[in-house]
Amino acid sequence: MGVVPKLDMEDSYVLVTAVRLAQLVFTGVVTGLTAALIKNTRGYVGIDVPGSVYAAQNFLMFCAIVNWFSAVYGLLSRRIQSLAKPMIQLPLDGAGTIFSLIGAIIISAKLGVVDCHKVAEGKTKISDDWIALFPYTDMTYDSDETRSAIEGKCRMFQADDVFFYVLFVSAALSLFFTFRTWKSGGGGIAKSGGIV
């Protein structure tokens, strides 16, 4: 059995910065997908959308915004020494981690579908408040355009779900590194400042 090599300050700085950048990128992807889904749902006049659909989509955007705060503050603290405070970053990373996991679970629960094509073809029974159904409430599966739109929106929700889970992993890694810095005395400053 080999011994796991210990990271020196330079390696640790690069690794933590890469994790923070990944968190920022995945936060941007999740925000974009969620915004597109919200626009798609609310872009039609006269469609009666259940409140649970709006609530779920609004909460997903809230989860993305929490991760924006965590990721941006984390990256800024890498370069600005006065921001490198684990006692501020720890709650931000904790909230980002928890809310990204909750967002992923909400999409999974509200979508509840494995095969979007079968739903679009009408072969799978769905509830009246299925999150990807709106604004296509007429569900007359005789239109290729309607079937394609339902399948496309379902797949967008699936993509959003996957990216929420990936965001959870990057946020959890960020939380781990912040916690490690806090446990080591909080003085983890590398290069021109920042939490190691």
**Is 188 a domain residue?**
no
**Is 28 a domain residue?**
yes
Can you read off the two tokens belonging to residue 118? 């079968």
Is residue 85 within 8 A of residue 77, CB to CB? The reply is yes
pLDDT level of residue 73 (50, 70, 90 thresholds): very high
pLDDT level of residue 14 (50, 70, 90 thresholds): confident
| Amino acid making up residue 78 | R
In sequence order, which ranges of the chain are alpha helices (DSSP H)?
Answer: 9-42, 51-79, 86-111, 116-120, 144-183
Domain residue limits at 63: 12-108+160-183
Tokens 């969620």 sit on residue: 34
Report the mean per-residue pLDDT for the chain: 80
Lowest-pLDDT range of 4-18, 85-99, 126-140, 177-191:
126-140
Can you read off the two tokens belonging to residue 150? 């339902």
**Is 134 a domain residue?**
no
Express each pLDDT in 36-61 by its tens digit.
988 877 765 556 667 777 888 889 99
Is residue 81 within 8 A of residue 62, CB to CB? The reply is no
116-144 burial, b at 16+ Cβ within 10 Å, e below that, comes to beebbeeeeebeeebbbbbbbeebeeeee
Structural domain total, the chain: 1
Lowest-pLDDT range of 92-96, 142-146, 159-163, 174-178:
142-146
**Is 29 a domain residue?**
yes
**Is 124 a domain residue?**
no
**Is 4 a domain residue?**
no
**Is 6 a domain residue?**
no
